[in-house]
Chains A and B, each alone.
Chain A
Amino acid sequence: MARKLPRKDVVIVGLGWTGSILAYELAKAGLDVVAIERGPWRDTATDFPPAYAQDELRYAIRLDLFLRPEQETLTFRNNASQSALPIRSFAGFLPGNGVGGAGVHWNGQTWRFLPTDFRLRSHLEERYGKNALPGDMTIQDWPVSYDELEPYYDRFEKLCGTSGKAGNLKGTVQPGGNPFEGWRSSDYPNPPLKQGLGAALFAEAAHKTGHTPFPQPASNMSEAYVNPLGLKLGQCTYCGFCERFGCGNYAKSSPQTCVLPALLRFPNFSAQTESEVTKINLDSTGKRATGVTYVDTSGEEWEQPADIVLVCAFSLFNVRLMLLSGIGQPYDGATGQGVVGRNYAYQTTSGVSLILKDKILNPFIATGAHGMMIDDYNGDNFDHSGLGFVGGGYMGAGQTGARPIQTRPVPAGTPKWGAQWKKATAETYQRAFSLSTHGSSYSYKDCYLDLDPTYKDRLGRPLMRMTFDFHDNELKMSAYLTARLAEIGRAMDPAEMTASPRKGPYNVNIYQTTHNTGGTVMGADPANSVVNRYCQSWDVHNVFVPGGASVFPQNHGYNPTDTVGALAYWTADAIKDRYLKNPGPLV
């Protein structure tokens, strides 16, 4: 029997980017807020100080900062004819764990979606006709527009201190930036990072081949920065330990560097760590949440009553919590009925690896998100007529640090061990780097999340089951993008080049990205969405899913975090300005 705690105004499930932003905004508005986080408290000094943050084995291989599958994992299958089996060790994607969530271990790529991405189905049908899209593709328009979100993108980028160069200031194209991006009300808060030789050579080749390269927007500080909450970030030292690592230098934006020290100054905020929310509780009508139940490390259950429940966990676990709590109709992959778990999508990535003839690239000098990119083949930035697919992605030369357990390229055909391998490894390391594409993943009827019939977690609750595979549209898109990227690679006159477009089937063993999206998608119609345009549950009006990537109706050709952060601020304003005054459905 759960022990009942004193009531709070707001209970937040998960203290990552969205949880900390919502907590700050609502605590500042005077509400009593508690955030319940199943992982440990984390901060720079204790968990990734510069004395030992640069430890590839611990953080990148043994995955010290990530969720332990014994605590929670998923089952996976490529299609409904297979039996799903548990992901026993995470590899294909890596959910974060603990305070800060994925905001601790991300690289810092900070991209906005394109204005046309927000009305994707309408836009594509207008341009290419109603029959252009595959019948089983379930993409839909977002219920918010780019113009509505623009101020919130701006706010999140200023919170982060993102480094970059505007390509479109209030409608005027800016030289040096991304000419395809949506209009921006202001430039990035920090100038672009410096680039290494690989990125510089790519930019030169991209320009020569008629493209428009620009520095990737990066939440790694090109200069020391004080954010609007008064928190100070240090200048990035290009140490090359960003992806999968916490930053020892306060130079990567994270809840730790950008929000938490200011948040904890509010006495009306508290965090409850190593405590896992097991359920959102509903009253007898099923239309109103009464709070949450959580279990602490000793196994004891607690009930936390609250007037507003904010579901702020990692996208996949938002979906599972909604399913376990019985909020919204679960999606049935066989019939296409139901909404919770519908439109799970991912990202379609690919690469082109290059070995240059005689260069010293120093590939270990890197930040998570510096690099030079082109956006010519993203979204609908190019004419898809006759190509046989829709969608696209950005591409270019990112360099996240050539840490040698994971990054030791050798020429094709080299043995995997022995004398030849050793020689090739030594001779190639300084001359090799890779280009990559970051492609969209549109949603389909047969790609979804539901509860597994067989496997359970440590508390006896069903694991969530993922059913996902790449579709022809995405594989054709990846083939096209990778071929364009290889043309630019060839213009760099490499000694050797290998292009690897994405091939099916999706393999959960091979790391691709942790951009798992959908499952509690936002929409204008309760028949095809779980939350409305304010990220509010259609069924239970005091439950919000404020901007986790689980609300994306499909995934676009960009990293999700900027949109996640923008939606968190958008939802915070809707709660403060509208919901508190008149609690009830906002749509």
Chain B
Amino acid sequence: MANIVVRSLSRRSFLASTAALIVAGSTPGFARTIVGRMPWEPGSATPPVQVRPGPWMFFTADEAALVEAAVDRLIPPDDRGPGGKDAGCAVYIDRQLAGPYGGAAGLYMRPPFMPGAATQGYQLPGSPAARYRAGLLALADHVRTAFAGKTFRELAPADQDKVLGGLETGAIVLKDVNGAEFFALLLQNTQEGFFADPVYGGNRDMAGWKLVGFPGSRYDYRDWVDQHDKAYPLPPVSIMGRSDWTVRE
């Protein structure tokens, strides 16, 4: 403990030597040593990458047809605005599954995988992408068998609702897939897509935000916080701007 030396710092002397020192460290990788000032470099921010229209990146054509039909029943089009399909929910899910989320990036995926109590959280090894692949296959098989060779997209809306409702309640049992868990995942992702910033491919033209009256990434409500019981007048805005500022591709 005799090693501790309490020095009185000369502010002048260290200001004089403020060659701001950011050493990449003698270590490879990202570990770094930061001394002397707040580290900042231009261009080092990581804004989201905008989802562009284009071919499916995860779904096969058959899978995409099923998902587009399903999201349009989960969020049906009506006089309040577009449904899940036109709002881009299937595109959103496709791009999410093709990215880190689909691959379960960052999650704890070490064995052993053992069944547990419901309070202990999801315990199966499948990534979201793997769960979709298996769930969509099992669902397509079920529909083909139950509806004389038809696909989900070819069913009448009332029958589509029956299938989705049967999955939700567990009344429909899929082969090798927990139908209720798969339905819950599909519903969660569909609603995420409908209400997430449009930069991720869903909520096209801010349909989800317009439905409820959420102004999006507005920055400053100081003039509005205590204007009680008055409708906020401005239309929603996204991280990437507003739909009427943007050419639709």
Contact = CB atoms under 8 A, between A and B. Distances in A.
A25 interface: no
A58 interface: yes
A331 interface: no
B119 interface: yes
A423 B80 contact: yes
Interface centre among A249, A422, A506 (most CB of B within 10 A): A422
Contacts of A454: 112
B117 A30 contact: no
B108 A360 contact: no
B229 A86 contact: no
A426 interface: yes
Nearest to A359: B229
A264 B219 contact: no
B209 interface: yes
Contacts of B106: 68-70
B76 interface: yes
Tier of interface size on chain B = 35 or more
Contacts of A82: 116-117, 120
Contact of B107 (A31, A69, A271): A69
Interface in B218-249: 218-222, 224-226, 228-232, 239
Given A405-B192, A429-B212, A297 B31 contact: yes
B47 A51 contact: yes
Contact of A200 (B118, B121, B228): B228
B9 A297 contact: no
A422 B229 CA distance: 23
Interface string A494-514: 000000000001111100000
Contacts of B61: none
A275 interface: yes
B82 to A, nearest CB: 11
A101 B86 CA distance: 40
B30 A404 contact: no
Interface in B1-49: 1, 3-9, 14, 17-18, 25, 27-40, 44-48
A41 B34 contact: yes
B239 to A, nearest CB: 5
Contacts of A78: 117, 119
A580 B1 CA distance: 9
A418 interface: yes
B78 A46 contact: no
A426 B75 CA distance: 12
Interface stretch (B146-154, B170-178, B194-202): B194-202
Given A404-B208, A408-B212, A417-B74, A196 B228 contact: yes
A171 interface: no
B8 A30 contact: yes
Contacts of B78: 419, 422-423
Interface centre among B118, B168, B214, B215 (most CB of A within 10 A): B214
A505 B44 CA distance: 45
Contacts of B229: 197, 359-360
B207 to A, nearest CB: 11
A473 interface: no
Contacts of A249: 219
A332 interface: no
B112 A405 contact: no
A266 B32 contact: no
A51 B217 CA distance: 9
A404 B195 contact: yes
B228 A43 contact: no
Given A87-B121, A237-B221, A580 B29 contact: no
A74 B232 CA distance: 44
A159 B107 CA distance: 36
B185 interface: no
B31 A275 contact: yes
Interface in A333-390: 359-360, 362, 364-365
A186 interface: no
14 contacts: A52-B217, A55-B217, A56-B195, A58-B48, A89-B107, A267-B14, A270-B33, A307-B4, A362-B230, A405-B191, A417-B190, A426-B80, A429-B214, A509-B118
Interface of A: 7, 9, 29-31, 40-41, 43, 45-47, 49-52, 54-58, 61-62, 68-70, 73, 76-78, 82-89, 91, 194-197, 200, 235, 237-241, 248-249, 260-261, 264-275, 296-298, 300, 302, 307-308, 359-360, 362, 364-365, 402-405, 408, 416-419, 422-423, 425-426, 429-430, 454-456, 505-509, 542, 580, 583
Given A55-B199, A298-B27, A417-B73, 14 more contacts: A41-B34, A41-B39, A58-B48, A61-B192, A69-B107, A70-B107, A195-B226, A239-B218, A240-B221, A271-B34, A274-B30, A404-B195, A430-B212, A508-B121
